[in-house]
Amino acid sequence: MEHIQRQPDRVARSRSRLLDGLQRWLPKLVVAPTFVLVGVGIYAFMIWTGVLSFTSSSFLPVYEFIGFDQYAKLMANDRWLTASVNLGIFGGLFILSCLVISVLLAIFLDQKIRQEGAIRTIYLYPMALSMIVTGTVWKWVLNPSLGLEKLMHDWGWASFSFDWLVSSDMAIYTIVMAAVWQASGFVMALFLAGLRGVDSSIIRAARVDGASLPLIYGKIILPSLRPVFFSALMVLAHIAIKSFDLVMAMTAGGPGYSTDLPAVFMYTHTFTRGQMGLGSASAMLMLGAILALLVPYLYSELREKRHD
């Protein structure tokens, strides 16, 4: 009889242990495929690209290691130097323009204006489009035979000229215009969220002291948004460094290779010109540029959290 009573207890304890083990392992089993895909699809290929950058690979991988020869060849490549200069121009103007426009738009919306939701949606809409769509639309708008210049001529302004898209000296600035149009709404949303998080009592106290609205924003509110500025800077720098589809849709790196960016250079040499080693070396330098921005940012954020 006692044996019969203990049997259900053992079954209950076994079932409880099974459920406890399942609760411990189920989350790990659920996220395991994601970790495997990320590990193989991102980090393993990243390491493989680094290995290929030290080889003489051309159309196919060849594991004949030649040291830093590909990096030396890359530094002596005029097209790479042009792409690097273009990245400096594009990245600098893109980041600065987005920050200025986004801050102004966020301040404008922070005034509790009418139809704020509709206006915010209009500002954010370009971010819903892919870079390919944005590039195609801007290519039509800036095409001298189809877009703005033709429209002005049809309206009777025969002397109007806007041929930046086909000018080797000015084409890079059309890329900046399209990129700013797409990204500024998203960055505006970041700043608007930061502005809405500022304690309103501080603003009221400043107004009681007679401070004007520009002074309040310039001396009190915007300095308190330093984390938002850093986050926006990281996002925009990342977009600038890896910009590829926008350039391919608008100019494909032309005229000539006057609008080449490092991502375009990497793709062209790796997949169309049969210089996989050289393309891999350029990809690793792009990764280094991203890490040079990301690591100090993460270090500062983690240090602040430890101090808190």
- The CATH number given to whatever domain includes residue 298 is 1.10.3720.10
Q: What is the pLDDT of residue 8?
A: 61
Cα–Cα distance measured from residue 308 to residue 288, given in angstroms and rounded to the nearest whole number? 30
- DSSP structure class, residue 147: S
Tokens found for residue 4 = 């019969």
Cα–Cα distance measured from residue 273 to residue 26, given in angstroms and rounded to the nearest whole number? 47
Q: Which domain holds residue 47?
A: 2-52
Count other Cβ atoms within 10 Å, centred on residue 222: 19
Cα–Cα distance measured from residue 308 to residue 301, given in angstroms and rounded to the nearest whole number? 11
Residue 162 belongs to some domain of the structure: yes
Query: Are the CB atoms for 138 and 178 separated by under 8 Å?
Result: yes
Say whether both 114 and 256 belong to one domain: yes
Cα–Cα distance measured from residue 270 to residue 276, given in angstroms and rounded to the nearest whole number? 4
Q: What is the pLDDT of residue 246?
A: 92
Say whether both 33 and 88 belong to one domain: no
Query: Are the CB atoms for 195 and 217 separated by under 8 Å?
Result: no
| Collapsed DSSP state (helix, strand, coil) of residue 86 | helix
- DSSP structure class, residue 199: -
Compute the radius of gyration of the chain from its Cα atoms.
Answer: 27
Say whether both 48 and 99 belong to one domain: no
Say whether both 112 and 13 belong to one domain: no
Say whether both 149 and 11 belong to one domain: no
- DSSP structure class, residue 65: B
Count other Cβ atoms within 10 Å, centred on residue 123: 21
Say whether both 45 and 134 belong to one domain: no
Say whether both 35 and 108 belong to one domain: no
Cα–Cα distance measured from residue 259 to residue 245, given in angstroms and rounded to the nearest whole number? 12
Residue 59 belongs to some domain of the structure: no
Residue 64 belongs to some domain of the structure: no
As for how many domains the chain has, the answer is: 2
Predicted TM-score (pTM) of this structure: 0.83
Give the residue from 232, 217, 144, 254 showing the smallest Cα distance to 186.
232
Tokens found for residue 273 = 């010109």
Q: What is the pLDDT of residue 2?
A: 46
Q: What residue ranges of the chain have pLDDT lower than 50?
A: 1-4
Residues contacting residue 221 through CB under 8 Å, at least 6 positions apart? 195, 198, 203
Say whether both 11 and 87 belong to one domain: no
- Burial label for 279, CB within 10 Å (0-12, 13-18, 19+), is buried
Residue 190 belongs to some domain of the structure: yes
Residue 58 belongs to some domain of the structure: no
Residue 198 belongs to some domain of the structure: yes
Residue type, 217: Y
Cα–Cα distance measured from residue 103 to residue 181, given in angstroms and rounded to the nearest whole number? 14
- What is the number of residues in the chain? 308
CA distances 25 to 14, 15, 17, 28, Å, are 16, 15, 12, 5
Tokens found for residue 279 = 């393309």
Chain centroid to CA 227: how far?
A: 17
Say whether both 34 and 99 belong to one domain: no
Residue with tokens 């189920």: 26
Angle between helices 171-196 and 131-142 (to 10 degrees): 130
Beta bridge partners of 55: 65
